[in-house]
Amino acid sequence: MAFIDGLISYDYILFGASFILFILFIIFALLLRKKLIVALFFIFLGFATLVLGPTFGYIQMHKYIFKNSTKLLSQKKLNFVQAVVVKGTITNESKFDFGECKITAEVYKVTKNKYKNYLFKLKPFQKMSILEQNLPKGQMREFKIIIEPFRYQKDYNISLGASCK
């Protein structure tokens, strides 16, 4: 339900256009039913448009409309408290103002094995998020995230990411 509540008008246009293309491809397949290979191709194209169009269209459109960048300025593990303080910046690189941005700091393990490092990036062992409100286009804002409780004693890396709307 939260996904549907978060849709914007561009999403509805994309979903509607994908559905109309699906209907058009099915109509073409029905009109060309005498040519079996061409009809099957249009049916396959129609279902591919129905499934893949909204999925990849949604992802690419949101990357473009809500484009942002985060930069890690510093990270400091506190001595007397089990926490890490992460400071960074977020920049609105899109052509629209953001109402809210969810900034997430993810902590993952680091080893000497590059393949394990790749796997560790996929599954961070600790996350912390904050919300930043009202970020106008072209503006940069500094933020601070405190990751707690942080008990890990070995090498680690922190990555930042943001999802804006």
Cα 103 from Cα 90, distance rounded (Å):
8
CA distances from 79 to 13, 53, 82, 88, 157 (A): 52, 50, 7, 21, 18
- pLDDT surpassing 80 at residue 2: no
Domain definitions of the chain by residue range: 2-65, 68-164
Task: Please give the class, per CATH, of domain 68-164.
Answer: mainly beta
pTM for the whole structure:
0.77
pLDDT of residue 96: 87
pLDDT digits (tens, 9 = 90+) for 141-164: 999 999 888 887 888 888 999 988
Given a cut of 80, whether residue 135 has pLDDT beyond it is: yes
pLDDT tens sequence across 3-34: 777 788 888 999 999 999 999 999 999 999 89
pLDDT, residue 113, reads 85
pLDDT, tens digit, 9 for 90 and up, residues 30-77: 999 899 999 999 999 999 999 999 999 999 998 888 899 999 999 888
Provide the pLDDT for residue 5. Answer: 76
